[in-house]
């Protein structure tokens, strides 16, 4: 496994507002956690954290897929991440979309369950506090949060497009966490899946409240998936040394 990728995931999770907790020490360096039903996203994250693992954000998942063989399970199934696409208004009144690969309102399982139980889903996107949205906007440019113009994304196609055109789509670079990661990922996707890739998104703007969705990767870049659905996340053991000691390549552990 790429040590730099592991460290990036760990560093991102150190920013968690309530801390990442675990009830047991991890045994395997990498594990899948999945759950079905309307609490699937929350339950899979909860399982991951309680087992002592840290869920991969999208940039780390993208790098692992890029480095994996075409027959790897990493390419055979889709994965959710705690990365989100959040839509709302800034303090200055600008309509924006934030792609965040840091701990956020919806990386906390309890918040996801509360939103679902309170009926605060809008087309399966979850309402989030304005203050939490503002915090993400303020992190724009830190290499983990990417804020783009709402109208630019709204006017962009949502569907299957030519992979050679995907880099120019306004969702691709912020979704994957940077241009270099996006270029490498798209090249690998083309090797595995061919010339087409899905780039999906939805208009989640609501003037009353920001709304967010988790980011998923399968045969495309899914910014359309809701927080009230089934989920599969990839968790990594918190200590890079233990991962390096027990694993040579992540694919062999899945």
Parallel, antiparallel, or unpaired for β 220-222 and 196-200?
parallel
**Angle subtended by helix axes 3-13 and 58-67, to nearest 10:** 170
Give the model's pLDDT for residue 250. 55
- The span from the CA of 13 to the CA of 23, in Å, is 17
The predicted pLDDT at position 246 comes to 44
Strands (E) across the chain are located at 30-35, 54-55, 79-89, 95-100, 121-122, 125-127, 145-149, 159-162, 196-200, 211-217, 220-222, 231-236
How far is the C-alpha of 72 from the C-alpha of 251, rounded, in Å?
Answer: 6
> HSE (CB half, 13 Å, CA atoms) of 10?
14
| pTM (predicted TM-score) | 0.86
pLDDT, position 226 = 86
Residues 6+ apart with CB under 8 A from 241: none
Report pLDDT for 5: 53
pLDDT computed for residue 244 by the predictor: 44
Instruction: Write down the residue that tokens 């990036």 correspond to.
Output: 8
pLDDT, position 243: 39
List, run by run, the mean pLDDT of 10-residue segments along the chain (254 residues).
54 45 67 95 96 96 96 96 98 97 98 97 96 98 98 98 98 98 98 97 96 97 90 85 44 58
Distance CA 13, CA 144 (A): 11
First to last CA, the chain: 12
Residue tagged 């113009």 (tokens): 149
How far is residue 251's CA from residue 157's CA, in Å, rounded to a whole number? 33
How far is residue 151's CA from residue 88's CA, in Å, rounded to a whole number?
12
């Amino acid at each position: 496994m790429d040590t730099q990728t592991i460290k990036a995931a760990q560093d991102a999770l150190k920013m968690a507002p309530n801390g990442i907790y675990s009830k047991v020490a991890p045994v395997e360096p990498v594990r899948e956690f999945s759950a079905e039903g309307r609490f699937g996203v929350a339950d899979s994250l909860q399982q991951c954290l309680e087992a002592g693992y840290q869920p991969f954000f999208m940039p780390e998942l993208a790098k692992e897929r890029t480095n994996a063989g075409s027959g790897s399970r990493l390419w055979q199934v889709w994965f959710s991440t705690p990365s989100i696409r959040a839509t709302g208004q800034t303090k200055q009144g600008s309509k924006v979309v934030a792609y965040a690969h840091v701990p956020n309102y919806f990386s906390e399982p309890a918040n996801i369950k509360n939103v679902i139980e309170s009926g605060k889903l809008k087309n399966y996107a979850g309402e989030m506090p304005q203050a939490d949205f503002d915090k993400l906007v303020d992190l724009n440019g830190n290499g983990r949060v990417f804020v783009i113009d709402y109208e630019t994304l709204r006017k962009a196609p949502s569907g299957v497009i030519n992979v050679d055109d995907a880099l120019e789509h306004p969702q691709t670079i912020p979704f994957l966490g940077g241009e270099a990661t996006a270029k490498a990922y798209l090249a690998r996707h083309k090797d595995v899946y061919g010339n087409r890739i899905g780039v999906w998104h939805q208009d989640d703007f609501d003037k009353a409240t920001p709304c967010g969705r988790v980011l998923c990767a399968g045969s495309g870049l899914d910014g359309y998936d809701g927080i009230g659905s089934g989920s599969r996340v990839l968790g990594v053991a918190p200590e890079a040394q233990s991962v390096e000691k027990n694993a040579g390549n992540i694919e062999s552990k899945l």
